[in-house]
A and B are shown apart, each in its own frame.
Chain A
Amino acid sequence: MKSIETFIAVNRFGLGPAPGEADRAARDPRGWVRNQTRLPAVPLQSTTSLRDAATIGASFHTARMSGGEGLMKSIRAAYRSDFMTALSARTEHQLTTDRPFGERMVRFWFNHFTVSTSKRFIGPMIPAYEREAIRPHVFGRFSDLLRAATRHPVMLTYLDNQLSMGDGSRAGRFRTRRQGVDTTINENHAREILELHTLGVNGGYTQKDVMELARALTGWTHGGIRLGPDRRSVHGEFEFNAGFHEPGTRTVLGKRYPDGGPEQGEAILDDLARHPETANFLATKLVRHFVADDPPAADVAALAAIYRDTDGDLGAVSRGLVDLPSVWAEPLPKVKDHEELVISALRVTGSTQARARDLAVPLQELGQAPFSAPSPAGWGDRADDWLGPEALLRRVEWLRQLAATLPSSLVPARFLEDVLGPVTGEPLRTWVERAPSPDAALALVLASPAFQRR
């Protein structure tokens, strides 16, 4: 690899240079990145057919009919089959794709709309959620992404909306009478939409807005919910349950939304997607991911303007990132998170096949097991989040172990040139030359700050 610009293209925008990729990007690094935003989304290829979230979810609901034990068995089996198969397919896709910018954006937006195996029940469906709700929209409209993520059964379950009933709804009144509960609304999903998915915590909303959005979203659930007077067939797809929905006009951020079915909530989501605070919040996160831990205000403003001018076109926003001069100013401002480090190490060493455990085992040890973010805020995106002493030592341990398994056809001096090229510098070059064995030399390259950064 010759130029720093190529290095930035394949690392900051991509997932690390797979063999030959840097040469392809070198002719026009910025164009190589930009063009990836104009191609249609690539569906995830897999030799085994992957079950969609609705099918997996429906199987859980069926299993539940036979009691708690049956449900647990069904969930465990789905972790072994659906989850691991999909994880392996996704990993292979990340290793082999020639559109790694799209994959980076799938990771970014998945993290923005995080769901997590911390809720055991949804775990086996999470890879399907990523395929169905996130992947198709990363270069599309944010409003479509927001709507797809919000109404996906996995998200509705993760943030507890699936059983949220309006206090004045048919099912809510029934429950209040029968069980004597004060309220049947669950505001969790509405709060996270405002705080984490759209406006951001300083975006100017109040507790009243949270409650009004929560009321608008009552009834957003999935088939298979069998509480109260409603008896429906078991299926795992999105379903608007009118019996759960709080009747009446809602007021969010001062605007009134007339009574209606799911259209009421959808109209609010559309306005949230269009809100200038949302533009700022999303731009800040993107600039943090692509430029620096502390996002320069000018870059945030530039990106937010593109977002507003294009009505939230994420393709245009992504190209806007490529146009930021500061993106190309520094080669190594960011520290990779653990998953990115593992994927990029496998990519640059030529892996094209991966068993799920090749990813899951090191990431479990590193503390970033796949799809297991500790909270709805997702994983952090600053150096401090990834560079604790213990975490660094484990990264080194795993990279050292990986280097010991690499084929002897990887010649350290050449590998250093291909992977780090113009950012190599001293003292790395000297210590790679002096390494006592080829695999120690490769390990030094992989464990170097230049490779652990991007």
Chain B
Amino acid sequence: MYRRRFLTETSLFLGAGLGLGAGLAALPARLALAAAPTDRRLVLLLLRGGLDGLHAVVPYEDPQYRALRPTLALPPPGEAGGVLDLDGDFGLHPALGPLRTLYGRGELAVLPAATTAYRDRSHFDGQNLLENGSGKAFGARDGWLNRAVAALGEGGAAGEQARLGLALGPAVPLILRGDGGVQTWSDSRLPEVSEDFLKRLAKVYASDPAFEAALAQARGAPTPEIDGMGGRRRPFGDGDLVLSARAAADLLKRPDGPRVAVMESQGWDTHFDQGRRLDALLGDISAALVALRDGLGPAWRHTAVLVVSEFGRTAAENGSRGTDHGIGGLALLAGGNLRGGRVLGDWPGLAKRNLYEGRDLQPVNAYEDLFAAALVDHLGLAPDVVDRFVLPSGRADRRLSGLFA
């Protein structure tokens, strides 16, 4: 049976800290049998700060583009430093160059003018809403991918559930927090502690459920084998997205490994000097996706990757060669299980009358429809489980169709 995993607003104040175990409404028993562990892998890369979609996937043919972006606009395809054409209208930022090959093979797709149901401009509310999947900034205290992990694990053998979620980095982000089993990995230079000491410590932790659970999870986590780390291990940080991707790939490809992984990248809030900063950040993303594909090997065929951000940015650049918080953003999709090579969804255009509140790209495409497609058509969860339990902010019957093989 499901224990409580989706905390509603009213129950928010029942628990304190971790292990909010207050028992709430259980789901009907038949739903518990709807999902089975899968060979499918889902990776979500969360870009914190608000990605400027227009700078990553450029609508170079849009007549307003250059006028809105006098210093930031990228040259059209074929010119020096120009974008890499996708479909005659849109082009990839040159730093995403390696992904153009994936696009040609049908392993990359883009969804422009997309975001969650959030229509304001706070990073933190926007991220909360994106991660908790409730449709409200504080509608739930666990994350929708954690609930997906729980739903996947529910159909499997006992004990398997503990390994299905994977967070890359020392902390578990909200989107993966909850009762579903999650392991974490990050690189460390601190000396390992002896098994004997950890056993003793586990006895001490018996009096504190939150510490006990966290330690048990940490001890149970398998270790990835990563090539190319050299003798000295590097500290975890923003520059280590590729290292995280390699670790994620090594764990995900294992038959008994996790199936849902979350990676995070910071620094996308480019109010200032955006061109230079995004050159570097987009290069990281590109390298990380390539590292995932290379590391997953044959398992890439069963993989889907979603790259999302809490919102987009203003259509026009601001006074500091940057852009401010805006609504319509972008999703990048990759993976061997993707029917890609396409620009997905609708395109509202950049004409002033079509902008959201006269300033932002109109969010005509919904992240929720993308997420629901990944949950149902890729991970194989039943639509009613997704609607009621995993992603109440979405509607499975409106999911983007034909995305996955």
Kindly state the interface size class of chain B when it binds its partner.
35 or more
A167's nearest neighbour on chain B, judged by CB, is B319
Q: Is B38 an interface residue (CB 8 A)?
A: no
Q: Are B204 and A335 in contact (CB under 8 A)?
A: no
B71's nearest neighbour on chain A, judged by CB, is A179
Interface string of A418-454 (1 = CB under 8 A from B): 0000000111100100111000100110011100100
A397's nearest neighbour on chain B, judged by CB, is B190
Among candidates B123, B182, B322, residue contacting A375 with C-beta atoms closer than 8 Å: B123
Among candidates A294, A367, A400, A427, residue contacting B204 with C-beta atoms closer than 8 Å: A427
Using known A-B contacts A201-B124, A385-B171, determine if residue A165 contacts B319 with beta carbons closer than 8 Å: yes
Q: Are A400 and B197 in contact (CB under 8 A)?
A: yes
Among candidates B123, B172, B211, residue contacting A449 with C-beta atoms closer than 8 Å: B211
Q: Are A184 and B318 in contact (CB under 8 A)?
A: yes
Kindly state the interface size class of chain A when it binds its partner.
35 or more
Q: Are B319 and A394 in contact (CB under 8 A)?
A: no
Among candidates B124, B169, B193, B267, residue contacting A397 with C-beta atoms closer than 8 Å: B193
Using known A-B contacts A163-B272, A185-B319, determine if residue A333 contacts B16 with beta carbons closer than 8 Å: yes
Q: Are B204 and A387 in contact (CB under 8 A)?
A: no
Q: Which of B212-220, B342-350, B362-370, B386-394 contacts A (4 or more CB under 8 A)?
A: B212-220
Q: List which A12-43 residues lie within 8 A (CB) of chain B.
A: none
Cα of A361 to Cα of B5 in the assembled complex, Å: 37
Cα of A184 to Cα of B320 in the assembled complex, Å: 7
Interface string of B287-325 (1 = CB under 8 A from A): 000000000000000000000000000001111101011
Contacts of A186 in B (CB 8 A): 271-272, 318-320, 322, 324
Interface string of A377-391 (1 = CB under 8 A from B): 100001111111111
Among candidates A181, A191, A294, A387, residue contacting B214 with C-beta atoms closer than 8 Å: A387
Among candidates B204, B211, B218, residue contacting A444 with C-beta atoms closer than 8 Å: B204
Q: List which A332-369 residues lie within 8 A (CB) of chain B.
A: 333, 335, 362, 364-367
Interface string of B169-197 (1 = CB under 8 A from A): 11110000100001111101111110011
A398's nearest neighbour on chain B, judged by CB, is B190
Contacts of A150 in B (CB 8 A): none
Q: Are A384 and B170 in contact (CB under 8 A)?
A: no
Q: Is B17 an interface residue (CB 8 A)?
A: yes
Q: Are B177 and A384 in contact (CB under 8 A)?
A: yes
Using known A-B contacts A172-B319, A375-B124, A391-B171, determine if residue A188 contacts B271 with beta carbons closer than 8 Å: yes
Shortest Cβ distance from B75 into chain A, in angstroms?
A: 17
Contacts of A207 in B (CB 8 A): 121, 357
Contacts of B196 in A (CB 8 A): 436
Interface string of A217-260 (1 = CB under 8 A from B): 00000000000000000000000000000000000000000000
Cα of A305 to Cα of B97 in the assembled complex, Å: 57
Q: Is A81 an interface residue (CB 8 A)?
A: no
Shortest Cβ distance from A245 into chain B, in angstroms?
A: 13
Q: Are B207 and A427 in contact (CB under 8 A)?
A: yes
Q: Is B201 an interface residue (CB 8 A)?
A: yes
Q: Is A293 an interface residue (CB 8 A)?
A: yes
Contacts of B210 in A (CB 8 A): 335, 383, 387, 449
Using known A-B contacts A181-B71, A366-B170, determine if residue A396 contacts B201 with beta carbons closer than 8 Å: yes
Shortest Cβ distance from A297 into chain B, in angstroms?
A: 9
Interface core residue of B48, B172, B219 (most chain A CB under 10 Å) = B172
Among candidates B184, B201, B211, residue contacting A390 with C-beta atoms closer than 8 Å: B184
Interface residues of chain A, those whose CB is within 8 Å of chain B, are 118, 159-160, 163-165, 172, 175, 179-188, 191, 195, 201, 207, 210, 292-294, 333, 335, 362, 364-367, 374-377, 382-394, 396-398, 400-401, 425-428, 431, 434-436, 440, 443-444, 447-449, 452
Interface residues of chain B, those whose CB is within 8 Å of chain A, are 12-13, 15-18, 48-49, 67-68, 70-71, 121-125, 137, 167, 169-172, 177, 182-186, 188-193, 196-198, 200-201, 203-208, 210-211, 214-215, 217-219, 221, 235-237, 266-267, 269, 271-272, 316-320, 322, 324-325, 357
